[in-house]
Amino acid sequence: MKNKIQITIQRFGGVIAIGALALATACSPATCAADAPGAPGACVSDHFLAGWQDIYFRWFVGAITIPPDTNGNAVLANTVLLPLPNAPGDGTPGQLDVSVESDEGFTLPLLYLLGTSYTDGTPNDPLVNIRFFETLQLTFQIDGHVLINHWNLMDYYSEFYFEPPIPINSPPINSVIWCEDIGCVHGPLSVGTHTLKLDVKSTEALPPNFGGGYPEYHNTWNVTVKPGRHH
C-alpha cells in the first residue's frame, strides 16, 4: 500500500492515483489543433511529451522551483504547467479557473502513475501493465472538440524512468523512480475563454500497491486567454 505521500498526490492529482516528477531537457511547445482525435498536431506525444511530463512532476512535488508569473502560473519556455483540480478520484467533478497569456501553451498530465523505491527493503514498484492505460475510458476536449479518446489514446502515452530519481522525504518511500502517463502538450489558444474537459474512468483495477480500485475523474478547466503580455 502506498503511504500518505502518494495519497496526497492522488488527492490533488490531475487524473489518477500517484504523482511525482523529473527534470529533462526543456522543450518548446508545438502548436496543436483542437480538432478531431488523431488530427495532425493535436497535441504532441512521444519523447517530447515525456520530457515535459518529467519537468511537470518535478515541479509538482517541489523538486524544482519555477517562480509564478503575474497570473500565478508556473511557466517554462512559454508553456504553462497547468494546475490540477482537487478531485478525489471517485468521480466527483473538479474544476479550476485559470488565466494565461496569448503566447503561452500548456502541458497537462491527464492520468499518471508514479513508481517509488523504498528504504525498508521493499522491492521497487514494478511498472504497471500497459493494459491499464489501453483500456481507459478517456475523453479530453477543448471547447467541445475531442482531441484525445479511445481511438488515439495511446499516442499520448509515455513511460520513462526519472534520471536522477526524485528524492522523497517520507520513509519508507525513498524516491520516485518512474512514470506511466497519458498527457498533453498544447500550443497557445486564441484570446478569449476556453473550456478544457477531461472525463476518464479505468476499466482495469489498479494493483494493490497503488490502492486498487477504479479511479474516475471528471475535471474542467475554464481558461481565460489574455491579449498581449503582462509579465
pLDDT of residue 6: 34
Average pLDDT of the residues in 201-206: 96
pLDDT tops 70 at residue 45: no
pLDDT tops 90 at residue 40: no
pTM of the model: 0.80
pLDDT of residue 229: 62
pLDDT tops 50 at residue 4: no
17-21, 45-49, 116-120: least confident range: 17-21
Strand order in the sheet with 145-148: 94-101, 216-226, 192-201, 137-142, 145-148
pLDDT of residue 196: 97
> Are the C-beta atoms of residues 9 and 210 closer than 8 Å to each other?
no
pLDDT of residue 50: 86
DSSP string for residues in 29-56: -------STT-TTSSB-HHHHHHHHHHH
CA distance 76 to 66: 8
pLDDT of residue 49: 83
- As a whole number, the mean pLDDT across the chain is 81
> Are the C-beta atoms of residues 222 and 99 closer than 8 Å to each other?
no
Beta-ladder partners of 219: 94, 198
- pLDDT tens string 68-116: 999 999 999 999 999 999 999 999 999 999 999 999 999 999 999 999 9
